[in-house]
Chains A and B, each alone.
Chain A
Amino acid sequence: MSDPSAVDPSDYPRKVLFVAGAGRSGTSTMAGLMKILGLHVPQPEVTPDETNPKGFAEPQWVVDHHTRLLREAVVQVSDSRPEAWFETGRVSTREPERIATAEWLESHFTADGGHAELVVKDPRLSWFLSLWRVAAVRTGATPVFVTMLREPAEVVGSKQTYYANKLGSAHLAASWLNMLLHTERGTRETVAGPEQGSGRVFVRYADLLDDWTRTTMDVGERLGLQHVLHANSEQIRDGHRFVDPSLRRMSQSLADLGLPPRLHELVGETWEQLNALAEPGGDTEQAHTHLDELRQAYSDLYAEAEAVSRSSVVAAEHRVRRERKPGGGPAGGGAPGPAAQGGPGRRPEAQFAADKVPHSVRALVPPKVRTGLRKLVGKQR
């Protein structure tokens, strides 16, 4: 038997670990652990702040790239529209974006003498999984995915606390549903063959905090991450120094959110199904079928809500028009733009002069209408 430690890490097969999931779900902890165990986080990283003092393990370029693409697609980080997935998917088919993403990835595979295993994480990542999968294919790397799962009530509570999000729990819960149901769909295996095959793992944040060694080693084995498989004692000690079980500071139940009944039911069922994916042998065709049904049920619910609240959209259109008329005053107020809602002001967000229209209403405006409104107020995007 050959000695695995005889293999130079730069000779490991190329692999990119994409850490997906809703923001505030433990994605930073997972990516941070992977970094400690030897996977490379492309530099420079976003600097830590009070919302995440141990760091984000997020490459700054990725954050900037996604922020720009979201803006082009007119999609927000916490966007509850099912159709938003086509908008970001459409942007991801553009050849210049594919080239830029693949070139960036290649440059980090070859940087500093070579890093064979990279970890890429950003709360916006789920929107662009198709773009990154293409970049991995072009650089001869295998894309693998870990999706972090955290009780939706805790995610919503955490976002409201840390991001001063005044959007309301119903909107945040709907965004969570939209994000998780489609991230699950977007990480299913589509490319066959051992050399091109992708893999995915679902990890509960609570499990990671409870016993990170078991959870992380399981991820390493299932995704074939060589650095995790061959981590040394000092790296493991560093892992223990890094993980702080008190990170899970939120503790509230779904009932505390006071969601509309159908939304409450969908969130509960989705959480149950996602949990099943995190169990050994739980990622089955049957589970996919159930999640497909939930995704459809959510899309139907959203379409109904859009139809019911049409008057709010029309009123918002009229308000913007009136504000643009002479004497009506400029639209503005410095409200953070669509891409600004995923972070606590640490990102180079565009300041949409946009509007004083509440986000919950803006999110309901169809893209075509939104484009028209932007033209009306003299904004290109």
Chain B
Amino acid sequence: MTAHAGPTGIRNLEGHADFDVTWPWAREEPLRAGSTAVLRVKDEAPSLPWVLPPLLRSMDHVVVVDNGSTDGTPEVVAETAERAGLAHRLTKASYPFAVARAGAEHRAVHELSVHSLSYFYNWCFSLVRTRYSFKWDGDMVLTVEGETSLGDLAWQVGDAQTIIRVPRHGLYLDSTQPQRGWLDLGLRNAEEWGFPIGPDFLFTKAFEWEVRTTPKPVRSIGLPHGLCVELKYLDGDEFAHWTDPASFATSYRNKRKRREWAVYQALQAGEVPEGVHEITAPDGVHVVDHVTRTWLPQAPRPLQVGTVVTSDDQRA
């Protein structure tokens, strides 16, 4: 447990009592069986119609916390869940404080500040009412196999004190060409997304971003590659949540970001880097649907994924 964690929760330094954190297990109502995905989103309106339906189908519950979106994200969240017929599995919330960007800005903020990434995460996960949780991003889309796999693990995990790693692959999009996309299979990236809800698994501060605490040793299982893509918009600002993209070069920890930066720059320049597949969907089909429902599920296995390895993947 982080040094700042109290037995029933944490209070923020700024004194915003309505945003103090009460741990889910310290509440009167016992935690329910099952899994909840928690998304912290800011201006993810274009991606969420792809992200939410498979996630709502595979999880017992989904919590979406908006952090100052200006593109109608909360409305898109509500409409998408409603359209999927799964609004009863959705909890919406809003976190009104500016959160420090990854990198130098994050490092300068105390972890008990409402502006801290780790405090923000702890607050978001305090809304979970199930015994297991998945951290999820507003641009991560499950494939059909991914939805199936996560849907089963979501209930199978029960009370197991284990971490689940979910590999993901960048899918770069050009908004002017909805049938065309670039899938980066040059990077092996399997980060820890699934964690039990309990005092051993809290968010605390790491150097560039947050990290979740774990007991030692801890059990960890990894899903195969090809189950999840992360949408990246070539005409968007994909690195806005970083203080300065130059800081990617500082350590081994940022390897994934460096790869994304390199692929992004190359595609902007009209070049397709090694390990990146240019994919064109059939007429009338969006490339995101094509990749998640057809291309990746039917790609030969084991999926040929490159050798650029992130630190989390090595944990296996």
Check if A134 sits within 8 Å of B148, measured CB to CB.
yes
Cα distance A266–B159 in the bound complex, in angstroms: 20
B197-234 interface mask toward A, CB cutoff 8 Å, 1 = contact, 0 = none? 00000000000000000000000011111000000000
B156-168 interface mask toward A, CB cutoff 8 Å, 1 = contact, 0 = none? 1111101000000
Q: Which of chain B's residues have a CB closer than 8 A to the CB of A191?
A: 57, 144, 147-148, 151
Is A186 engaged at the interface, CB distance under 8 Å to the other chain? Answer: yes
Interface centre among A85, A89, A99 (most CB of B within 10 A): A89
Check if B301 sits within 8 Å of A83, measured CB to CB.
no
Is A108 engaged at the interface, CB distance under 8 Å to the other chain? Answer: no
Q: For B156, give its contact among A86, A98, A137, A140 (CB under 8 Å).
A: A86
Cα distance A89–B194 in the bound complex, in angstroms: 15
Q: Which of chain A's residues have a CB closer than 8 A to the CB of B224?
A: 93-95, 98
Q: Which of chain A's residues have a CB closer than 8 A to the CB of B297?
A: 137-138
Check if B153 sits within 8 Å of A89, measured CB to CB.
yes
Check if A95 sits within 8 Å of B152, measured CB to CB.
no
Is A200 engaged at the interface, CB distance under 8 Å to the other chain? Answer: no
Q: How far is the CB of B241 from chain A (nearest CB, A)?
A: 30
Q: For B33, give its contact among A94, A102, A299 (CB under 8 Å).
A: A299
Is A129 engaged at the interface, CB distance under 8 Å to the other chain? Answer: yes
Check if B152 sits within 8 Å of A86, measured CB to CB.
no
Q: Specify the chain A residue showing the minimal Cβ separation from B297.
A: A137
Check if B153 sits within 8 Å of A93, measured CB to CB.
yes
Cα distance A292–B154 in the bound complex, in angstroms: 13
Q: How far is the CB of B87 from chain A (nearest CB, A)?
A: 13
Check if A192 sits within 8 Å of B152, measured CB to CB.
no
Is B58 engaged at the interface, CB distance under 8 Å to the other chain? Answer: yes
Is A71 engaged at the interface, CB distance under 8 Å to the other chain? Answer: no
Check if B155 sits within 8 Å of A90, measured CB to CB.
no
Is B15 engaged at the interface, CB distance under 8 Å to the other chain? Answer: no
Cα distance A295–B152 in the bound complex, in angstroms: 15
Indicate whether A130 sits within 8 Å of B156 (C-beta atoms), given known contacts A95-B301, A99-B302, A296-B33.
yes
Is A92 engaged at the interface, CB distance under 8 Å to the other chain? Answer: yes
Give residues of chain B (117-176) contacting chain A, Cβ–Cβ below 8 Å. Answer: 144-145, 147-149, 151-153, 155-160, 162
Q: For B53, give its contact among A86, A129, A140, A192 (CB under 8 Å).
A: A192
Interface centre among A129, A130, A182, A295 (most CB of B within 10 A): A130
Indicate whether A133 sits within 8 Å of B148 (C-beta atoms), given known contacts A86-B158, A102-B301.
yes
Q: Which of chain A's residues have a CB closer than 8 A to the CB of B53?
A: 192
Q: Which of chain B's residues have a CB closer than 8 A to the CB of A185?
A: 155
Indicate whether A83 sits within 8 Å of B158 (C-beta atoms), given known contacts A93-B221, A99-B302, A190-B57.
yes
Give residues of chain A (78-121) contacting chain B, Cβ–Cβ below 8 Å. Answer: 82-83, 85-86, 88-90, 92-95, 98-99, 102
Cα distance A360–B309 in the bound complex, in angstroms: 45
Cα distance A321–B129 in the bound complex, in angstroms: 42
Cα distance A134–B33 in the bound complex, in angstroms: 24
Cα distance A137–B297 in the bound complex, in angstroms: 7
Q: Which of chain B's residues have a CB closer than 8 A to the CB of A138?
A: 145, 297-298, 301
Q: Which of chain A's residues have a CB closer than 8 A to the CB of B149?
A: 93, 130, 134
Cα distance A182–B156 in the bound complex, in angstroms: 9
Indicate whether A190 sits within 8 Å of B158 (C-beta atoms), given known contacts A98-B301, A295-B33, A296-B33.
no
Q: Specify the chain B residue showing the minimal Cβ separation from A186.
A: B152
Check if B152 sits within 8 Å of A89, measured CB to CB.
yes
Check if B152 sits within 8 Å of A129, measured CB to CB.
yes
Is B293 engaged at the interface, CB distance under 8 Å to the other chain? Answer: yes
Give residues of chain A (272-310) contacting chain B, Cβ–Cβ below 8 Å. Answer: 292, 295-296, 299
Cα distance A188–B149 in the bound complex, in angstroms: 13
Q: Which of chain B's residues have a CB closer than 8 A to the CB of A189?
A: 57
Is A196 engaged at the interface, CB distance under 8 Å to the other chain? Answer: yes
Q: Which of chain A's residues have a CB closer than 8 A to the CB of B54?
A: 192
Q: For A137, give its contact among B145, B157, B302 (CB under 8 Å).
A: B145
Check if A93 sits within 8 Å of B223, measured CB to CB.
yes
Q: Specify the chain A residue showing the minimal Cβ separation from B143.
A: A137
Q: Which of chain A's residues have a CB closer than 8 A to the CB of B151?
A: 190-191
Q: For B152, give its contact among A130, A196, A292 (CB under 8 Å).
A: A130
Q: How far is the CB of A93 from chain B (nearest CB, A)?
A: 5
Q: Can you list 13 pairs linking A and B with CB atoms under 8 Å apart?
A: A89-B156, A92-B152, A98-B224, A98-B301, A129-B152, A130-B148, A134-B148, A137-B144, A138-B301, A190-B147, A190-B148, A190-B151, A191-B57
